Amino acid sequence: MNQTQWTHLDQWFSQLLAPEDDALRLALAQSQAAGMPDINVTANQGKLLHILARISGARRILEVGTLGGYSTIWLARALPADGQLVSLELNPDYARLARQHLAAAGVADRASVLEGPATQTLTQLIKDQTAPFDLIFIDANKDDNPAYLALSQQLSRVGTVIIGDNVVRQGRVLDASNADPGVAGMRTFLQQLAAPGLTSTAIQTVGSKGWDGFSISIVEKA
Ligand code: DHB
Ligand code: MG
């Protein structure tokens, strides 16, 4: 198998099982036009997040890393009408555009974007004694993943589902001596997932984004 085949099969799966509506297409197109990095989850990955949120019965979702709001839309659409999603974004221009995309997708009543460094926002949410989230998707800068996880655990209850994107880093997570802070951050994150208090796994994926993977955890102690 090679990248061309992974891409074609991914496109077929996505068209068949995870078709995008106008709002999702708009979010991608405008994100690209605005010069955001082309690192959104794919449609079928978005659908996976949506299904995991539905399986877990999530009513409160936290996302770390909004980008243009593409994954945010997939997740927000998994919520009941009175559900809530909070997504954290460092870049104010990205946040502004993401809010437009959430409105176009009809989920602005449920989904909000908080601007600023996510470690600060998470710390503030903890201070504010925000109600625990049912599902947390960590998908921002990888060097801060250890802090995002530790803070996310403080915003969890027993049973909260924590999902991490991009756990493979082109295989470099195997290399303990790799100097890339994103690789080191992801290695530490994966080691944290092994600690008591979490039940975790990590799964490699291939598709139109190449070789990558997700971690999935359940919080056992909060
Ligand atoms: C990168 C980040 C992502 O969230 C992703 O899904 C793919 C790549 C990156 O920073 O390289
Ligand atoms: Mg990602």
Reported as a pLDDT band with limits 50, 70 and 90, residue 174 is: very high
Query: Is the pTM of the predicted complex or chain greater than 0.95?
Result: yes
Query: Which atom of ligand 1 is nearest to 65's Cα?
Result: 4
pLDDT given at position 133: 99
Residue 52 in this model has a pLDDT that exceeds 90: yes
Residue 1 in this model has a pLDDT that exceeds 90: no
Residue 178 in this model has a pLDDT that exceeds 80: yes
Q: Is the CB of 34 under 6 A from ligand 1?
A: no
Task: Work out the number of other CB atoms within 10 angstroms of the CB of residue 173.
Answer: 22
CA distance linking residue 12 with residue 67, whole number of Å: 25
Probe target for ligand 1 pocket from 66, 90, 165, with the most ligand atoms within 8 Å of CB: 165
Query: Which atom of ligand 1 is nearest to 182's Cα?
Result: 10
Ligand 1 centroid – CA 154 distance (Å): 25
Q: Is the CB of 166 under 6 A from ligand 1?
A: yes
CA distance linking residue 185 with residue 173, whole number of Å: 9
Sheet of strand 198-207, all strands in order from the earlier edge strand to the far edge: 111-115, 84-89, 60-64, 133-138, 156-165, 210-219, 198-207
**CB-based burial label for 172 (10 Å; 0-12, 13-18, 19+):** middle
CA distance linking residue 86 with residue 146, whole number of Å: 20
